[in-house]
Structure formats: C-alpha cells, structure tokens
C-alpha cells in the first residue's frame, strides 16, 4: 500500500531540508515526503502524484516565493484537491494574504518563520486528527 504524502514547498532548499528532517524525525515511515522549490513545481508534482493514485494528505507551503505566492498556490491546490490539508509558513505574509488563504483555500494554520519543530509537528498532528472520522 502506498504511503500518504506530505508535500513541502519553499524556494529555499535549506528550508526544505529542515522541514524534511523534522517531519521524518517526528513521523518516520508513516508518510512519504515530497519537496518542491516553486509553486509551479508543486502543482505539477501534485498532478503527477494524483494521476499515479497517490494520496497527498498535507501541503506545507512558504508564502513569499517567486512566480506565485503561497496563498495563490494553496487556493489553486484547494480548487483541484479540496481534501488536502493546507499549512502556510511565512515570516513575511501580510494579513490580507493570510485571510485570503483561510477564506479561499481552507487554510488550516499559518506558522510564522522561524517555526519550532513542536509547532510544525503539533499543527500537522492536530490537522490530521481533525480530518479523520470520529
């Protein structure tokens, strides 16, 4: 059986490496971890994974990225894959962008950079628990 996937999106490789390390440390082999360095790469990867029958359970996206900001990415993801849990990471997102993501992308949580591993893992655990049927 294929593992559910957590997708991380950030234009800084060091951030992606840090996210992957923290997620693997917390969740180990429960999930598969995919990384994308741009919103365009993330959308392409989501389509490929979906076409391959993979289950993308959660996306963690930066806000400030070249080309497409994180709120726009998450809105696009929500339109195509409404069940994917969406978490935004940012040190620079303005309140309007965060509000837009909550309103139009069903954003679960916005974490400020620098985040702590406890905030990240705790937010993901909460989100996944809420998603599962009671």
pTM of the full structure: 0.95
Is 90 exceeded by the pLDDT of residue 109? yes
Helix (H) or strand (E) holding 41, with range, is helix 39-51
In this predicted model, what pLDDT tens digit does every residue of 28-68 receive, in sequence order?
999 999 999 999 999 999 999 999 999 999 999 999 999 99
- In the chain, how many domains are there? 1
- Measure the CA–CA gap between 125 and 133, rounded to whole angstroms: 14
DSSP H stretches of helix in 2-116: 13-27, 39-51, 70-80, 95-105
Per DSSP, what are the bridge partners of residue 109?
87
Query: Which residues touch 33 (CB under 8 Å, ≥6 apart)?
Result: 5, 6, 8, 20, 23, 24
pLDDT bucket at 127, cuts 50 / 70 / 90: very high
Give the closest residue to 59 by CA, choosing from 116, 1, 126, 10.
Answer: 10
The domain that holds 74 is classified in CATH as 3.40.50.2300
Give the distance from CA 58 to its chain's centroid.
Answer: 5
pLDDT at position 133 is 61
Is residue 93 scored above 90 in pLDDT? Answer: no
Which residues span the domain enclosing 110? 5-131
131 pLDDT more than 80: no
């Amino acid at each position: 059986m294929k593992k559910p996937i957590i997708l991380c999106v950030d234009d800084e490789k060091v951030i992606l490496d840090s996210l992957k390390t923290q997620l693997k440390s917390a969740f180990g082999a429960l999930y598969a971890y995919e990384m994308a360095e741009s919103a365009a790469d993330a959308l392409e990867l989501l389509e490929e994974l979906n076409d391959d029958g993979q289950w993308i359970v959660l996306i963690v996206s930066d806000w400030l990225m070249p080309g497409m900001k994180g709120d726009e990415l998450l809105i696009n993801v929500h339109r195509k894959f409404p069940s994917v849990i969406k978490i935004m990471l940012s040190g620079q997102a303005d309140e309007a962008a965060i509000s837009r993501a909550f309103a139009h992308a069903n954003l679960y949580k916005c974490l400020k950079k620098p985040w702590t591993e406890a905030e990240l893992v705790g937010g993901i655990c909460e989100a996944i628990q809420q998603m599962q049927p009671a």
